[in-house]
Structure 1
């Protein structure tokens, strides 16, 4: 049988509370009983001492006693459960409770024994007598024997007090159990409700509905982290779904144009409208090569996405490579009227030189495409103790803030027009990031619309093999 999370949590809280209350009750009861025993024993000793002092005060000197006062003290002690016997220095009995009222003494002993055996059957107590010498002026003038149930005994009032205390403990335990039950239900609901919402959201995500979000807040840190993770996952899946649909549309668009051109040219030549001369065939060949390059880029990206991408690492000067790539682009920049600047000293690095060439070429190509005539592109290479940075900064059209998270996605271009003047296949930055991450580096971008962009590639000098 399966139970809900709320039921399990409630049961767990109640069981923990019950066990805790039971342990506390048992330990409290044992502690109070121990303390009460010690109190009774101390009180018994205090009573004996008080009786001994009172008896000593009845010695009149010269072996004379106040017999009436001794008898009064003995009767009063008997009523309090103490059976006393007083003798003088010669051993002659001055007063004895058993002689005075032996029947009453026996009843007191039986009553004490019955009370103690009922409540403390394992105590193994019994009637005991304790002697107290009567000392006056450093001279023993007599002996006091006090008999009582030992090691201690409880009067009717003491037993009534213990019973009342036990009842209070039981009542407090029941109230605590009720409070624990209510608290467990409340806490279980507070914990299970957001988890249930997370389950509902996860089920919606599993069915392909990514728009739902969990808006409720929880005071539990772990539940907040769980809801944030589910919301973040839903957001990412929703973004990926949007990108997937856009990727399909972009690929269709990129293939549709050259295929439509090929189809129109071939149909015109088949229908005899155009002659199959070199110019017409050359135009068809260019469109075929365009499709071929796109397929080649996709194959290259698939290889770079593979975790087993092979890097042919060598030690070389990254600044020298960057300077060479800048020189290769100089003519294209001059033709468009964009200024290209370079700065940086020698920076040694161990990496795949060909792939670093491709990274630099992609960044410079993008900067050229999105920087209008009269603009400027700055390339710099600088290093630290463990890393080398390549910075490509332009003052071109820039990238909108909403587009920044997606610029590394396949076929994603911030320029929605997708004309031939604004770019190729749209996977250059995707390949660039794959190469950089394969070298255990990272690529960062900062951009403002109509102000320009800055791409920063950070690479370790000695990448792990």
Structure 2
């Protein structure tokens, strides 16, 4: 049977309260009982000695006992549960409580037995007697026999105290239980409300409502982290959904243009409007190649993002590789009137040479596309302290806006919304570059300012 978090927490608080009260009650009774036994035994012995001293004072200097006072003391002792018998030094009985009032003595003993049997059963104790010698300045003058219920005895006041204590513990237990239920209800509300909100937000996300956000705050670290995680998840999914829709539109756009061109050219030739000469066939071939390149880029991206993709790593000089790449680009840069420079030295890395070359060519190609005439592109290789080589490509192009920067490595994302053939491309190159760098356990970053330029930074580990 499933129960709500609120019910479980409330029951947990109540259970903790009940167990705590039971433990406190048990420990209190055990401790008090032990101490009370010691106290009553010591108190009984103290009473006995006081009674011996008091009886001893009733022996006069003329070797006579004060019978009336002894009788008064004896009667008062019976009421306290003490049955006394006084003998003189010759063994003759001076005063005996049993002889004086045997019925009262028996009644007191029975009363004590009943009181004790309520708490300890029939084995709680028994009636016992102790002999105490009485002395004065001339020596022993008699013997006092004291009978009482032992080894310890709870009188009516003691029992009333124990009962009151137990009632107090029960009352405290009930109040604690009520307080625990109230506190549990309050705490469970504070805990369950944000969790319920998280559950509702997660359900909304599952139903496609990705713009839903949790605004509640929680003082509990784990719940606050859960809220933050769900909000971040919703934001990430929302962004991914936007990118997915944009990617679908971009793929449709990239395919529509060459297909529309092919369709119009072929229809014109079929209808006899155009003759299928070499120039028109070359135009159709160019559009076919554009479609083929797009499909090839998508296939390459899928391959690079596959978990089973393997790299052919070797140890080589990245500086030498960079010089060769720049050399191959010199004609293109010269034709556009853009200056390219290299600043670096020999740095050995362990990587897939062809794939790293693909990354650098893509970045330099982008810099060339977006850098105007008389601009410049600088390529820098630098070794940093944590065992990585930094490859930096910095241009003086038109830059990338802060809104576009977070998405430059996404599929089909281009800050150039015009999609003209001067810039070209399908917006997959940087996505492929990032996938390759990630496979090398490296990192690729971009920094840019509008009308000031862009800098791409590739970090690669020196050793695998």
User: What's the TM-score, normalizing by structure 1?
Assistant: 0.91
Distance apart, 1:259 and its partner CA: 1.8
Whether 2:396 is the aligned partner of 1:395: answer yes
Whether 2:207 is the aligned partner of 1:188: answer no
In structure 1, what is the equivalent of residue 421 of structure 2?
420
Q: Which moved more, 1:328-337 or 1:212-221?
A: 328-337
In structure 1, what is the equivalent of residue 272 of structure 2?
272
Structure 2 Cα separation of the partners of residues 205 and 286 of structure 1: 44
Structure 2 Cα separation of the partners of residues 400 and 58 of structure 1: 115
State the SS of the aligned residue for 1:351. strand
Distance apart, 1:148 and its partner CA: 1.2
CA offset digits 1:403-436 (Å, max 9, x no partner): 2222211101122222222341101111011111
Structure 1 Cα separation of the partners of residues 378 and 67 of structure 2: 123
Any conservation in 1 of the 2:392–2:457 contact (CA below 8 Å)?
yes
In structure 2, what is the equivalent of residue 218 of structure 1?
218
Distance apart, 1:106 and its partner CA: 1.5
Alignment of 1:254-265 (within 5 A): 254-265=254-265
Distance apart, 1:158 and its partner CA: 1.7
In structure 1, what is the equivalent of residue 84 of structure 2?
84
Distance apart, 1:441 and its partner CA: 1.7
Alignment of 1:155-174 (within 5 A): 155-174=155-174
State the SS of the aligned residue for 1:272. coil
Distance apart, 1:69 and its partner CA: 4.5
Structure 2 Cα separation of the partners of residues 443 and 137 of structure 1: 110
Distance apart, 1:311 and its partner CA: 0.7
CA offset digits 1:182-232 (Å, max 9, x no partner): 222222222222222222222221221111111112222222222222221
In structure 2, what is the equivalent of residue 132 of structure 1?
132
Whether 2:460 is the aligned partner of 1:445: answer no
CA offset digits 1:250-308 (Å, max 9, x no partner): 11111122222222322333333333322222222212111111111111111101111
In structure 2, what is the equivalent of residue 406 of structure 1?
407
The 3 A distance-change label for structure 1 pair 432 and 116 is same
User: What's the TM-score, normalizing by structure 2?
Assistant: 0.91
Distance apart, 1:58 and its partner CA: 4.4
Q: Which moved more, 1:164-173 or 1:373-382?
A: 373-382
Alignment of 1:52-201 (within 5 A): 52-59=52-59, 66-121=66-121, 123-134=123-134, 140-201=140-201
State the SS of the aligned residue for 1:121. helix
Distance apart, 1:141 and its partner CA: 4.7
Structure 2 Cα separation of the partners of residues 401 and 50 of structure 1: 99
Distance apart, 1:387 and its partner CA: 2.1
Distance apart, 1:89 and its partner CA: 4.2
State the SS of the aligned residue for 2:448. strand
The 3 A distance-change label for structure 1 pair 375 and 118 is same
For these two proteins, the number of residue pairs brought into alignment is 463
Unaligned runs of 5+ in 2: none
Any conservation in 1 of the 2:116–2:124 contact (CA below 8 Å)?
no
Q: Which moved more, 1:404-413 or 1:362-371?
A: 362-371
State the SS of the aligned residue for 1:252. helix
Distance apart, 1:380 and its partner CA: 1.7
Structure 2 Cα separation of the partners of residues 314 and 136 of structure 1: 115
Distance apart, 1:319 and its partner CA: 2.0
Structure 1 Cα separation of the partners of residues 202 and 184 of structure 2: 26
CA offset digits 1:12-37 (Å, max 9, x no partner): 43334333333333333333333333
Unaligned runs of 5+ in 1: none
Alignment of 1:298-317 (within 5 A): 298-317=298-317
The 3 A distance-change label for structure 1 pair 122 and 28 is farther
Alignment of 1:37-48 (within 5 A): 37-48=37-48
Structure 1 Cα separation of the partners of residues 372 and 143 of structure 2: 123
Structure 2 Cα separation of the partners of residues 224 and 174 of structure 1: 35
In structure 1, what is the equivalent of residue 459 of structure 2?
458
The 3 A distance-change label for structure 1 pair 120 and 278 is same
In structure 1, what is the equivalent of residue 6 of structure 2?
6
Structure 1 Cα separation of the partners of residues 427 and 413 of structure 2: 6
Structure 1 Cα separation of the partners of residues 233 and 125 of structure 2: 74
Structure 2 Cα separation of the partners of residues 243 and 138 of structure 1: 117
The 3 A distance-change label for structure 1 pair 421 and 108 is same
Alignment of 1:307-386 (within 5 A): 307-383=307-383, 384=385, 386=387
Structure 2 Cα separation of the partners of residues 298 and 305 of structure 1: 11
